[in-house]
Amino acid sequence: MPSPNEREYGGFFRARGDEDVPQTVILVPITARFMRVLSAADFAVDFNAANPTDPQFFIHSETTPATNYGYLSHDATEFIINSNAGGTRIAGGPLGVADDVSIELGTDDDSVLRHRTATLAANTALTDVLIGTPVSAATPANSLLISNVTADGDIAFFVVSAAGANSEEYIRLDASARALIINEASVDLDFRIESNGLVNAFVIDAGNDSVNFGSAGDVAVFMTVTPGARSSAPNLGVGHAVDINTSTFTDSNTAASGTATGSNYVAIAAPTIAATNTSVTHTDTATVYINAAPIAGTNMTFTTSYALWADAGITRLDGGIRINTTSANAHISEATSGTGTVTHYIGNQTINTTSDKRVKNNITPWNGSALDWVSKAPVLKEFNYNLVGGGSQTEGYGPNARGKYLGFIAQESIDWAPWAINAGAGKSCVKCINGEPCDEHALWHVEYQHLVPPLVQAVKELRAEVDYLRSR
């Protein structure tokens, strides 16, 4: 019996090497290691083929059998499925890949998909999937791993929108830039994250070039924050719409013992507001605008509410402040451009230098003696004092650094000069009258400027008496 290799044609044989499990094999000639399936009508086709190193199994098309075929082979490294024309398609059923088996893409297996059944510890290599010394978090069992192991090779996601037949890039994992980028190609492609209760928890509106928290985009606004309804225990130190938590900023630049101009935690630069058309006027503008103090809603009563509250620390207003009006006359600063005054209040005390006749009524002549009035003044020598809370006389600053004060005591002076004593609602309170602690009323004070007119009058009366005495 001749050796199979000596036969011109191969065919079915019983393999000899595995006698305990006899197996049927198909042998192809060493001089032409092909096995082909083709239509009988094509038996005369010239395949124009060179003898391959490894046996190959071909299936030819009926239409153009010489050029349209697929084949299977193994080149000692990999099992190869190839198609001479067109691609390779699984025409029915799912294409399954077993657990922990990679789908490797690229001749050099550059990109990999693998369903891994076991957990993978952080920073742990996985052959052909995570190479080198990976920088990775721990991955739980039954995870899909997608990896591109080519240096600087990206992973990108594209789709064709309904708008046309053009592919558009949505997501890119840019290896050379070490960045995850949405919409790097810059088209009108929104990025939206939906929370449990908010459809638009976070939206980057590409068409409007806006960033939005809690709402869709608005072309006129770069960033919107729309918190929606929230509920929790009240907390004075927590912003319920926007909360900036504590953190530490470290000056890593200024030299030891050096001085820098300062530092800010939240800074807002002056914006420029321009107009498309010429000669446009805005009556009021602000870099930061607060509409109003919070509004008490259902079941709620506020004791007090503020539109702006700095709970601690000095509030510095280098440009001055303007109270309740746009008029420069209501401007408080080191150098105001106002040409008059308006009435301001601290508590119930007015700050107003206006002595205009038009702000006064019930004007009647005073026929009393200013000298008599002065003689009844509370005895000043008893009223030599330090101020409570004014610090020590030995300190270099604070009200008491000046030493002791000479002045009137409001309670002692109210009968003498009631128009100059601001006692407020405590005027009839026994505690206030006696100078005892009182939780109900504000402290009294003397408005010394109201003592000036009668003192002037007293000087006039003294002058008259001097003139009289001289004339005798």
Choices 76-84, 177-185, 298-306, 419-427 (CB under 5 A): range interacting with Zn ion: 419-427
441 vs 445, beta carbon nearer Zn ion: 441
Choices 68-76, 80-88, 154-162, 427-435 (CB under 5 A): range interacting with Zn ion: 427-435
CA nearest to 241, candidates 304, 299, 306, 294:
294
* List 429, 442, 445, 457, residue binding Zn ion (CB under 5 A): 429
Q: Give least dist CB 414 to Zn ion, A.
A: 13
Choices 19-27, 184-192, 281-289, 432-440 (CB under 5 A): range interacting with Zn ion: 432-440
Based on the shown chain and the rule CB under 5 A, indicate whether residue 38 belongs to the binding site for Zn ion.
no
Q: Give least dist CB 426 to Zn ion, A.
A: 4
* List 28, 432, 446, 451, residue binding Zn ion (CB under 5 A): 432
Contacts of 40 (CB under 8 A, 6+ apart): none
Distance CA 213, CA 193 (A): 10
Q: Give least dist CB 318 to Zn ion, A.
A: 39
Judge whether 161 and 153 are in contact, CB under 8 Å: no
The DSSP letter of residue 192 is E
Distance CA 99, CA 113 (A): 11
Based on the shown chain and the rule CB under 5 A, indicate whether residue 426 belongs to the binding site for Zn ion.
yes
Residue of this chain nearest to Zn ion (CB atom): 429
End-to-end CA distance of the chain: 173
Judge whether 444 and 434 are in contact, CB under 8 Å: no
- Backbone φ and ψ for 42, nearest 5 degrees, come out as -105, 20
Choices 46-54, 227-235, 400-408, 434-442 (CB under 5 A): range interacting with Zn ion: 434-442
Distance CA 363, CA 357 (A): 9
Helix (H, G, I), strand (E, B) or coil at 11: strand
Q: Give least dist CB 438 to Zn ion, A.
A: 3
Q: Give least dist CB 349 to Zn ion, A.
A: 17
Q: Give least dist CB 428 to Zn ion, A.
A: 8
Based on the shown chain and the rule CB under 5 A, indicate whether residue 422 belongs to the binding site for Zn ion.
no
Q: Give least dist CB 442 to Zn ion, A.
A: 9
Choices 18-26, 61-69, 165-173, 421-429 (CB under 5 A): range interacting with Zn ion: 421-429
Q: What share of the chain is helix, strand, coil (3-state, %, to 5)?
A: 15, 20, 65
Based on the shown chain and the rule CB under 5 A, indicate whether residue 427 belongs to the binding site for Zn ion.
no
Residue 145 has a CB neighbour count (10 Å cut-off) of 16
Based on the shown chain and the rule CB under 5 A, indicate whether residue 25 belongs to the binding site for Zn ion.
no
Choices 27-35, 311-319, 415-423, 440-448 (CB under 5 A): range interacting with Zn ion: 440-448
- What letter represents residue 158's amino acid? F
Q: Give least dist CB 434 to Zn ion, A.
A: 9
330 vs 414, beta carbon nearer Zn ion: 414
DSSP bridge partners of 174: 179
Judge whether 421 and 414 are in contact, CB under 8 Å: yes
Judge whether 224 and 213 are in contact, CB under 8 Å: yes
- In the complex, which residues of this chain contact Zn ion (CB under 5 A)? 426, 429, 431-432, 438, 441
